Chain A
Amino acid sequence: MTINKIVEVIRGKELTPPIKPANFELKYAFSGDLMSDALMVLREAPEGFCEAGILITGNVTMQSIRTAEMLDFAAILITRGKVPTKQVLDQAYNSGIIVLGTNDVSFTVCGKLYSAGIKGLSDL
Chain B
Amino acid sequence: MQATGKFVIESMDLDNAGNASSTIKKMLTEAGVSKSIIKRVSIAIYEAEINVVIHSYGGTCTYYIDDEKIRVVFEDTGPGIEDIEQALEPGFSTANNQAITYGFGAGMGLMNIKNASDEFDITSSHLGTTLDIKIYFN
Contact = CB atoms under 8 A, between A and B. Distances in A.
A40 B21 contact: no
B35 A47 contact: yes
Interface residues of A, number: 23
A53 to B, nearest CB: 13
Given A43-B116, A63-B103, A70-B46, A36 B109 contact: yes
A36 B103 contact: yes
Contact of A61 (B14, B36, B111): B14
B97 interface: no
A39 B39 CA distance: 10
B108 interface: yes
Contacts of A40: 108, 111-112, 115
A122 interface: no
Interface string A44-74: 0001000000000101011110110111100
Contacts, number: 84
Most A CB within 10 A of own CB, among B16, B35, B104: B104
A63 B99 CA distance: 10
A63 B102 contact: yes
A67 B104 CA distance: 11
B105 to A, nearest CB: 8
Contacts of A37: 106, 108
B35 A64 contact: no
Interface residues of B, number: 30
A33 interface: yes
Nearest to A58: B103
Nearest to A64: B103
Given A37-B108, A47-B35, A59 B103 contact: yes
Contact of B115 (A34, A43, A87): A43
Contact of A66 (B17, B40, B106, B107): B17
23 contacts: A33-B103, A34-B103, A34-B104, A35-B102, A35-B104, A36-B103, A36-B104, A36-B112, A39-B43, A39-B112, A40-B108, A47-B36, A61-B101, A61-B103, A62-B15, A63-B14, A63-B50, A63-B103, A63-B104, A67-B46, A69-B18, A69-B25, A72-B39
Interface of A: 33-37, 39-40, 43, 47, 57, 59, 61-64, 66-67, 69-72, 87, 95
Interface of B: 14-18, 21-22, 25, 35-36, 39-40, 42-43, 46-47, 50, 101-109, 111-112, 115-116
